[in-house]
Amino acid sequence: MTAPTARTGSRSPCTPTPTPPPLTRTLALIVSIAGAMLVALDGTVLLVAQPALQRDLHATPAQVQWTSTAYLLSVAALLVVAGRLGDRYGHTRLLLTGLVGFALTSAAIALAPGIGWAITLRAAQGVCAALLQPATLALLRLTHPADRLGGPIALRTSAIGVAAAAGPLLGGVLVAEFGWRAVFWINVPVALLVAALTLAVRVPAAPRTGGGPQRLGIPAAVLLAAALACLVHALAGVPEHGWTSAPTWTALALTGVVATVFVVHERRTAHPIVPLGVARTRSVTASMALLLITAAGMFGALFVLTFFLQYVRGLDPLACGVRVLPMTVLMVLGAPVAAGALRRYGPRRTALTGIGLVVLGIGALAGTARLDTAAAWPAEGVAFGVLGAGFAAVMVAATGTVVGDAPPGYAGVVGGLKQTAMNIGPTLGIAVAAGTMAPGVSDTPVTTALLVLAGLGALALVPAALLPGRCQTPVPQ
């Protein structure tokens, strides 16, 4: 296969491109936002439902944890493969398949008679989520000009923040009134409604460079899925086993072996899953690293603070959620501001500013750990707000760059890579946090863990510096 190069066919958010009719753009934006919100809401709603699920299905805590782990493994392993399939067979088709499958598996989980069925069906639901996630980003790339992606991506980022924040509240109401099965039943009409809207989207054919995507190599797909699954499994097991345990090192070693075989195979095959033009596009690879590292820092900090606020501060889950609310609010409000900054100052300066805010926010939260509960309230609120604003800026800058720089015909692969980074990043952050906080949940280990995570977040300055600078030509307002 003739792969596109980084120069040919690659457009940045600074490059104007032709646009489809306004109705098509609007419908594509609605579908993209709704699909992303569906997945984000499902993840946070389940957290609240797990205790009730455990009691009803007579499951152990480890079995309940596998309802999340099985889903995560499926999603992380298949996102890039799903994006490749979308480039090959059409993103609308993959999105429809994913949405209908998500609805069917949600209904099946709601009817699950035992924990084994629930775990298996959650893994199947993860496959469907993997099919639809890259397609939601690819729709934006195919229907919006690269220089106008900032606004749609900002709306999408804000919507994800709203969905994630609303999940625990909605889940609490559903579980209290109707039981844990209701959190899955609610997915069914929503997913089918989004699928109906998808049918109305008329996506223009993606331009093909060098012939565009050809057949999907099965060996490469299996190797990539296996490598990612091994990595996620290793990281997800760190909170339980620790970094120095045999299961962790065995899984990491297996990841390295499979990843090496995958890279060798990719270099030799005529049909690589990640085309050379994508792998060598500096802004795309830098954006992936930026998203992975920043997500690791932020979600690792949230993991630490969730335990600290409940076990040390003595807050209940609802009060804990209220403490974190400024982060969600500033994430929602900060996304459109970040889109304006992206147009005016370019991806590099926007991302660097965002990382600075993320590091400052995590560092400030470390400082509040030694304050008493009453004095910490306003300081924590400000720190959470700074963290949310910074993460919104990073998300908008990196996503706008990676989607805008996708070589023509490979928007799905790039979208899959982006979503993979966003799935592995939090798992890495939680693993780092758990390993650092191993002595226990108290002032000193929590402060140390947060400072380590702030340092981890600061590493994102390196890939951020590799993003494009300011636009060379004026961007229409």
Nearest to 223, CA basis, from 285, 158, 267: 267
What the block records as the tokens of 425 is 């990043």
Pairwise CA distance, residues 289 & 420, whole Å:
11
Nearest to 391, CA basis, from 356, 349, 358, 427: 358
Pairwise CA distance, residues 280 & 276, whole Å:
6
Pairwise CA distance, residues 351 & 460, whole Å:
9
DSSP letter at 148 equals G
What the block records as the tokens of 26 is 């609007």
Pairwise CA distance, residues 153 & 189, whole Å:
25
CA-based end-to-end distance of the chain: 39
212 in the Ramachandran plot: left (φ > 0), alpha (ψ -120 to 50) or beta?
left
Question: How many other CB atoms are found less than 10 A from the CB of residue 94?
Answer: 25
Query: What one-character-per-residue DSSP string does 396-455 give?
Result: HHHHHHHHHTPPTT-HHHHHHHHHHHHHHHHHHHHHHHHHHTTT-SSHHHHHHHHHHHHH
Pairwise CA distance, residues 342 & 208, whole Å:
28
Q: Which helix (H) or strand (E) holds 328?
A: helix 317-345
Query: Which long-range contacts does 261-267 make (Cβ < 8 Å, 24+ apart)?
Result: 261/223, 262/220, 262/223, 262/224, 262/227, 265/219, 265/220, 265/223, 266/220
210, 211, 213, 217: CA torsion to nearest 10: -90
Answer yes or no: are the C-beta atoms of 422 and 291 closer than 8 Å: yes
Pairwise CA distance, residues 83 & 259, whole Å:
19
| Extended beta strands in 20-176, E state | none
Alpha carbon 212 to its chain's center: 26
**Residue 431: per-residue pLDDT:** 85
Longest dimension (CA), the chain: 63
DSSP letter at 6 equals S
**CA dihedral for 278, 281, 283, 285, sign (positive or negative):** positive
Question: How many other CB atoms are found less than 10 A from the CB of residue 15?
Answer: 17
**Residue 391: per-residue pLDDT:** 92
Buried b (16+ CB within 10 A) or exposed e, 136-166: bbbbbbbbbbbbbbbbbbbbbbbbbbbbbbb
Answer yes or no: are the C-beta atoms of 76 and 228 closer than 8 Å: yes
Tell me the pLDDT of the chain (477 aa) as tens digits. 344 444 334 444 444 445 666 777 888 889 888 888 888 888 777 777 777 888 888 888 778 778 888 888 888 888 888 888 887 788 888 899 999 999 999 999 999 999 999 999 999 999 999 898 888 888 887 777 766 777 788 888 888 878 877 777 787 788 878 888 998 998 999 999 999 998 887 766 555 544 445 566 678 788 888 888 888 888 888 877 788 888 889 989 999 999 999 888 888 877 777 777 677 778 888 888 999 999 999 888 888 887 788 777 777 766 777 788 888 888 888 888 988 888 888 889 999 999 999 999 999 998 887 777 666 788 888 999 999 999 999 988 888 887 776 666 677 777 788 888 888 888 888 888 887 876 555 556 888 889 999 999 999 999 999 888 765 433 333
What the block records as the tokens of 254 is 């297996």
Pairwise CA distance, residues 468 & 352, whole Å:
12
**Residue 104: per-residue pLDDT:** 96
Taking the model in full, what pTM does it have? Answer: 0.80
Instruction: Provide the H-helix boundaries in 237-316.
Output: 238-241, 246-268, 276-279, 282-307
Amino acid occupying residue 338: A
Cα distances (Å, whole numbers) of residue 443 to 301, 384, 447: 14, 18, 6
Answer yes or no: are the C-beta atoms of 147 and 476 closer than 8 Å: yes
237 three-state secondary structure: coil
Q: What are phi and psi of 257, to 5 degrees?
A: -65, -50
